[in-house]
């Protein structure tokens, strides 16, 4: 058990800045040195008296200056870098903001490893000058323990872990920026370190401790772990902007479902009523994928952000985590959010109009949109045994529950998180030679049908079962077009989040029509979600989610006033960029679940695969089979240790049914507030909780554009083959042709190239001259000597073209114009007669060409020619020529 130490008590004149629920209007003054030090019991009387005198002197000289120098802050601190000082007695951790103007300090005791983790935080906020003086006093007070030692820079504490004896602190030692959202930077964890807390770390079972340490390190924290200091990455944009503040365990303002280090954040404080630390000391890590790119649309910059969050519940390897557990958590559960925003302003708001006082009249920025999708395993009890060496083990339904208790809990949780309606897109196979996936299809269909009968009208789940694999193989359907139809239907039902009204230009476009109600003058909310699955929730699911994302991107851009229609064409720069983002997204999810990348990509279902796709798919299948057969057991053990899971059983508790019919909470089917209240919540957010972005900008610091993430972000202008001239090219214009129509790629391309030049026949028919020779003819007289330097220079500066050269060039241009204008099935009569005559002559059916008598010279030549080649005899010499054939040709041609 950890020791429950009280927090520091400050002096009466100290003013503390509030932490979670809202900023305080008061400002901290001089630091209370004795509160954070606590060294009196370990020092000599002389050292203690000297330290007290220095602290008192510091407080008396700095109190009034601090009150006058520090302005009243109305926003919580944004600490994004940390310094670690250590000695034999304790750790000192200093948290600082980007401008080094706000600091806080906490200490961790290192002397006792058996009584638990002892952490004390000083709730006073220090300025830079105060912190320098405090560090000097700490160094003087800890001389007997070796001083403060050398400072170590790191970027966050990911939590604390304990194996057999003693605690370890996990810190993030390296980070990289991956996205910028509303002024909040999103980071990727590049490297981490494990530091033992106790100075004399005594281990009774060193072999077991080292074994557990090696297992824990198998979860590579330098891959696919993301965090943010000021933005709640565990929640969607819609909840962060308009939702109520979260209040989970120990008042953590996060969605702990997607915080993979939640066990390491809470385990050290088990048994306490409240955590001794504020939430900004510990960083929740999201396991999944984060990617961001920008569209450059004729000078407008659009940010496209893709965030995937993997659930920590029922997480694990492919064949070891299937279906659902008794709590209603499914395997391979991933929430994907697509955020599209225009970077007109950095924060989530516009500045106040006029000279209004303060920042209470800010306006929410209407340039943020988001669309959320969901993937997860089929919520019934099913397993796949990997004892055999089959690449596709048989599927068995392990538990048959006629009331589908686990599935009911799963869908009720989806209703609570996303609202209604829920679209279920089931992509598993319908017909197989040996029933495998089709077993799940029948059971899943029966499950949804059973649960749907108890839902009220208008809130029932929309179930779509479609054999995507067979549709692709039989070529009976256009896979992408069918998915786009389903996506459009789902988006119309669930809608998407938009932080403002539609552009007023949409209203002007509908003035001449009767559809005035189509214009939206308020924010838009996403109520409901599309739940997509196949057997693994990987290849087919990712292709389907890309189609949903493409369709949602069109609606999001239309809501921002960027495009005139939500229909986006394939093979455009915008869709190509989104395709690459979803490829990376699918590869990351697949590597986390199976150990290999995607096998079938979007191009496969578009029937335009890359030339090496077949060999790549074979390699990925072999890698997937090897990983699942030999490495999944160790991988599952490491994940369980990382997440704090102690039991491998899928069913932990005995099922408890609340009712056979009332399996859902009716409150989850309807929004908690109306649209006006949500709009007011958005206004409250930008006025009270939207100030974090100030911490990331230092106006007096000289930096180059190359160091800014927004400048160096991936863009449509950075795609292969792009140049500076493409700035004026629309990223929504398709620059290719459909692969299914070869004529459109070859014949139409040639015809367009030929027809790009005007026809002289058409111009002459109008009585117009297509030549510009008259306009280019110089007015001045030509010099007498046309070969002189003056004449040559004049001709080069004012080039002219003679009529004969012009006619020759025009004939060269128009030589194929007749073929372009003529019907494709008929030719000219003269050419047809010549062709028929040639065919008849070859058959020997035509008339003789010799109108006159046959020349005697030719008759003599034919009669004297040898016929031994016709008889099959071989000859070694040259064929004898007794007739001068060349002279005859010359005479006949003349």
Which one of 588, 622, 650 terminates a domain?
650
10-residue mean pLDDT series, the chain (894 residues) = 35 31 35 42 42 42 38 59 90 90 91 82 90 90 82 94 91 95 93 91 87 93 93 93 74 87 89 76 95 90 96 91 93 96 87 60 90 96 78 86 92 93 94 87 95 93 93 84 94 94 83 66 93 93 95 95 91 91 94 84 73 65 71 88 77 59 89 84 81 66 79 79 72 66 44 45 40 44 67 80 85 71 58 74 63 66 59 51 52 47
pLDDT at res. 887:
56
Proportion of the chain in helix, strand, coil states, percent, rounded to 5:
40, 15, 45
H helices present in 627-727, as ranges: 632-643, 675-688, 709-712
Q: Both 559 and 479 in a single domain?
A: yes
Q: Both 486 and 617 in a single domain?
A: yes
Q: Both 290 and 237 in a single domain?
A: no
pLDDT at res. 656:
59
The residue assigned the tokens 């699942």 is 628
Q: Is 48 contained in some domain?
A: no
Q: Is 130 contained in some domain?
A: yes
Phi-psi region of 250 (alpha: psi -120 to 50; beta: other; left: phi over 0): left
Q: Is 749 contained in some domain?
A: no
pLDDT at res. 146:
77
What is the rounded CA–CA span in Å between residue 574 and residue 551?
A: 12
Q: Both 257 and 331 in a single domain?
A: no
What is the rounded CA–CA span in Å between residue 536 and residue 521?
A: 42
Q: Is 794 contained in some domain?
A: no
Q: Both 223 and 354 in a single domain?
A: no
State how far the alpha carbon of 85 is from the alpha carbons of 153, 266, 382, 597, in Å.
9, 24, 52, 42
Q: Is 469 contained in some domain?
A: yes
Which one of 240, 267, 294 terminates a domain?
267
The residue assigned the tokens 């200056």 is 65
Number of domains within the chain: 2
Residue 629 three-state SS: helix
Contact between 572 and 734 under an 8 Å Cβ cutoff? The reply is yes
What is the rounded CA–CA span in Å between residue 129 and residue 110?
A: 28
Per DSSP, which regions of 700-785 are E strands?
A: 714-715
What is the rounded CA–CA span in Å between residue 613 and residue 618?
A: 9
Q: Both 259 and 297 in a single domain?
A: no
Structure-block tokens of residue 384: 């796949």
pLDDT at res. 45:
41
Q: Is 802 contained in some domain?
A: no
pLDDT at res. 290:
96
What separation, in Å, do the N-terminal and C-terminal C-alpha atoms of the chain show? 118
Q: Both 256 and 335 in a single domain?
A: no
State how far the alpha carbon of 808 is from the alpha carbons of 303, 773, 804, 805, in Å.
54, 14, 6, 5
Residue numbers of the domain that contains 131: 81-267
Contact between 588 and 224 under an 8 Å Cβ cutoff? The reply is yes
pLDDT at res. 798:
79
Q: Both 431 and 545 in a single domain?
A: yes
Q: Both 400 and 340 in a single domain?
A: yes
What is the rounded CA–CA span in Å between residue 159 and residue 221?
A: 12
- CA angle (138, 140, 142) in 5-degree steps: 65
Q: Both 294 and 416 in a single domain?
A: yes
Q: Both 434 and 562 in a single domain?
A: yes
Can you state the angle between helices 206-217 and 632-643, rounded to 10 degrees? 100
Which one of 650, 676, 711 terminates a domain?
650
Q: Is 616 contained in some domain?
A: yes
Per DSSP, which regions of 26-134 are E strands?
A: 81-86, 90-96, 103-109, 119-126
pLDDT at res. 626:
67
pLDDT at res. 854:
66
Q: Is 604 contained in some domain?
A: yes
Q: Both 344 and 428 in a single domain?
A: yes
Neighbours of 701 (CB within 10 A): 8
């Amino acid at each position: 058990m950890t020791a429950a130490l009280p927090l520091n008590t400050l002096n009466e004149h100290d003013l503390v800045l509030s932490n979670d629920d809202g900023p305080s209007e008061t400002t901290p003054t001089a630091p209370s040195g004795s509160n954070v030090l606590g060294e009196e019991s370990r020092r000599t009387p002389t050292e203690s008296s000297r330290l007290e005198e220095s602290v008192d002197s510091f407080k008396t000289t700095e109190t009034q200056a601090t009150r006058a120098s520090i302005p009243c802050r109305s926003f919580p601190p944004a600490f994004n870098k940390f310094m670690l000082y250590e000695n034999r007695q304790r750790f000192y951790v200093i948290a600082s903001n980007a401008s080094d103007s706000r600091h806080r300090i906490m200490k961790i005791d290192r002397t006792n490893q058996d009584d638990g983790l002892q952490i004390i935080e000083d709730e006073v906020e220090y300025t830079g000058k105060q912190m320098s003086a405090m560090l000097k006093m700490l160094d003087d007070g800890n001389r007997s323990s070796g001083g403060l030692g050398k400072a170590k820079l790191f970027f966050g504490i990911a939590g604390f872990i304990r194996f057999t004896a003693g605690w370890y602190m996990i810190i993030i030692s390296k980070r990289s920026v991956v996205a910028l959202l509303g002024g909040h930077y999103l980071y990727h964890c590049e490297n981490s370190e494990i530091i033992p807390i106790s100075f004399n770390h005594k281990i009774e079972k060193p072999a077991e401790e080292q074994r557990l340490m090696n297992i824990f390190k198998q979860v590579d924290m330098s891959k696919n772990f993301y965090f943010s200091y000021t933005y709640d990455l565990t929640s969607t944009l819609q909840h962060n902007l308009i939702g109520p503040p979260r209040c989970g365990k120990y008042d953590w303002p996060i969605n702990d479902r997607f915080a993979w280090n939640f066990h390491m954040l809470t385990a050290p404080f088990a048994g306490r009523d409240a955590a001794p630390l504020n939430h900004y000391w510990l960083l929740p890590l999201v396991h999944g994928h984060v990617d961001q790119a920008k569209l450059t649309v004729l000078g407008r910059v659009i940010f496209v952000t893709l965030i995937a969050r993997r659930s920590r519940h029922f997480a694990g390897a492919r064949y070891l985590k299937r279906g659902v557990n008794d709590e209603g958590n499914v395997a391979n559960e991933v929430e994907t959010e697509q955020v599209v925003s225009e970077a007109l302003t950095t924060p989530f708001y516009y500045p106040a109009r006029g000279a209004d006082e303060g920042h209470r009249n800010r306006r929410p920025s209407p340039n943020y949109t988001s669309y959320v999708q969901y993937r997860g395993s089929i919520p019934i009890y099913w397993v796949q045994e990997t004892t055999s060496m089959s690449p596709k083990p048989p599927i068995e339904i392990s538990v048959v529950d006629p009331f589908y208790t686990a599935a009911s809990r799963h869908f009720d949780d989806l209703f609570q998180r996303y609202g209604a309606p829920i679209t279920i897109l089931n992509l598993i196979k319908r017909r197989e030679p040996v029933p495998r996936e089709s077993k799940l299809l029948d059971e899943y269909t029966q499950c949804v049908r059973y649960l749907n009968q108890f839902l009220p009208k208008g809130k029932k789940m929309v179930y779509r079962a479609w054999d995507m694999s067979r549709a692709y193989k039989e070529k009976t359907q256009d896979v992408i077009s069918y998915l786009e139809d389903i996506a459009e239907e789902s988006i119309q039902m669930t809608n998407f989040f938009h932080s403002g009204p539609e552009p007023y230009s949409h209203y002007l476009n509908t003035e001449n029509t009767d559809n005035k109600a189509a214009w939206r003058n308020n924010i838009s909310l996403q109520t409901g979600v599309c739940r997509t699955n196949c057997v693994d929730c990987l290849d087919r699911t990712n292709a389907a989610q890309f189609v949903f994302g493409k369709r949602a991107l069109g609606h999001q851009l239309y809501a921002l006033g960027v495009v005139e229609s939500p229909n986006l064409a394939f093979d455009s720069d915008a869709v190509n960029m989104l395709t690459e983002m979803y490829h990376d997204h699918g590869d990351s999810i697949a590597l986390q679940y199976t150990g290999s990348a995607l096998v079938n990509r979007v191009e496969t279902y578009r029937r335009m695969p890359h030339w090496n796709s077949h060999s790549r798919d074979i390699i990925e299948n072999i890698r997937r089979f090897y990983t699942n057969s030999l490495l999944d057991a160790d991988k599952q053990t490491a994940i369980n240790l990382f997440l704090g899971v102690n039991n491998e059983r899928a069913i932990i508790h005995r099922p408890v049914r609340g009712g056979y019919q009332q399996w859902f909470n009716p409150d989850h089917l309807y929004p908690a507030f109306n649209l006006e209240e949500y709009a007011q919540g958005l206004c409250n957010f930008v006025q009270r909780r939207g100030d974090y972005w100030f911490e990331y900008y230092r106006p007096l610091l000289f930096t180059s554009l190359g160091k800014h993430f927004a400048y160096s972000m991936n863009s449509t202008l950075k795609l292969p083959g792009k140049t500076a001239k493409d700035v004026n090219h629309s990223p929504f214009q398709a620059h290719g042709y459909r692969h299914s129509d070869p004529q459109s790629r070859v014949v139409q391309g040639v015809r367009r190239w030929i027809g790009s030049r005007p026809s002289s026949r058409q111009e002459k028919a109008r009585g117009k001259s297509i030549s510009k020779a008259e306009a280019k003819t110089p007015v001045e007289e030509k010099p007498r000597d046309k070969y002189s330097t003056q004449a040559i220079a004049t001709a080069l500066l004012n080039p002219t073209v003679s009529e004969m050269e012009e006619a020759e060039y025009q004939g060269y241009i128009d030589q194929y114009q007749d073929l372009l204008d003529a019907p494709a099935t008929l030719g000219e009569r003269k050419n047809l007669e010549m062709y028929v005559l040639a065919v008849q002559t070859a058959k020997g059916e035509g008339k003789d060409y010799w109108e006159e008598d046959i020349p005697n010279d030719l008759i003599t030549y034919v009669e004297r020619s040898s016929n031994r080649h016709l008889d099959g005899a071989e000859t070694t010499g040259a064929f004898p020529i007794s007739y001068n054939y060349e002279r005859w040709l010359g005479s006949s041609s003349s």
